[in-house]
C-alpha cells in the first residue's frame, strides 16, 4: 500500500531564512513560496534527487503550524508524507486496522494539487503521517 517517501515537512519560524539556508548553504533548488489557505500554511518545496523537503510557515491565525511553533520555537520536523495509489482504499485499510485519520476522513487537496489525508501521530510512533495519492 505505502509507496515512496514524497517529502519531509519542517515547520520553520522564518521561511525566508530557512529557504536561504537550503539554497545558499546546501546548494539545493528552492521553489518559490506558495500559500495554502485551506491548510493554514505557506510552503516552500526544496527539490532533492530522491525526495523533497517542505518548509512550513503559519498562514493566518488558525494555522496548525502556529501551535507547533509555539511548542517548538526553533521549528522542527512536522510530518512525513508517503505516496499511495488510492487514498480512499488506503484510508479504509488503515481505519480497519485501527489507525485514526485526522479530521472527518475526507481527503483535502494538498500543496501538489492531489488528495491528502493525515494520520494520528499516536498511531505511528509519535510521527504525524501524511498520505498523498499519486
Q: Judge whether 85 and 2 are in contact, CB under 8 Å.
A: no
Q: Compute φ and ψ for 18, nearest 5 degrees.
A: -65, -45
Pick the catalytic residue from 36, 54, 83, 130: 130
How far apart (Å, rounded) are the C-alpha atoms in residues 54 and 9? 4
Active site residue 83: no
Residues in the chain: 134
How far is Cα 83 from Cα 22, in angstroms, rounded to an integer? 24
Selection from 14, 62, 16 nearest residue 38 by Cα: 62
Active-site positions read 130
Amino acid at each position: 500500500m505505502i509507496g515512496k517517501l514524497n517529502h519531509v515537512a519542517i515547520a520553520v519560524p522564518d521561511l525566508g531564512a530557512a529557504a536561504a539556508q537550503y539554497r545558499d548553504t546546501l546548494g539545493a533548488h528552492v521553489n518559490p513560496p506558495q500559500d495554502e489557505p485551506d491548510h493554514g500554511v505557506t510552503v516552500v518545496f526544496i527539490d532533492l534527487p530522491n525526495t523533497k523537503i517542505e518548509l512550513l510557515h503559519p498562514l493566518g491565525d488558525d494555522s496548525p503550524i502556529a501551535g507547533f511553533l509555539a511548542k517548538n520555537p526553533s521549528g522542527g520536523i512536522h510530518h512525513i508524507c508517503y505516496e499511495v495509489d488510492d487514498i480512499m482504499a488506503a484510508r479504509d485499510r488503515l481505519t480497519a486496522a485501527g489507525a485514526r485519520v485526522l479530521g472527518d476522513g475526507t481527503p483535502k487537496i494538498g500543496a501538489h494539487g492531489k488528495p491528502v489525508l493525515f494520520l494520528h501521530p499516536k498511531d505511528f510512533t509519535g510521527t504525524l503521517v501524511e498520505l498523498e495519492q499519486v
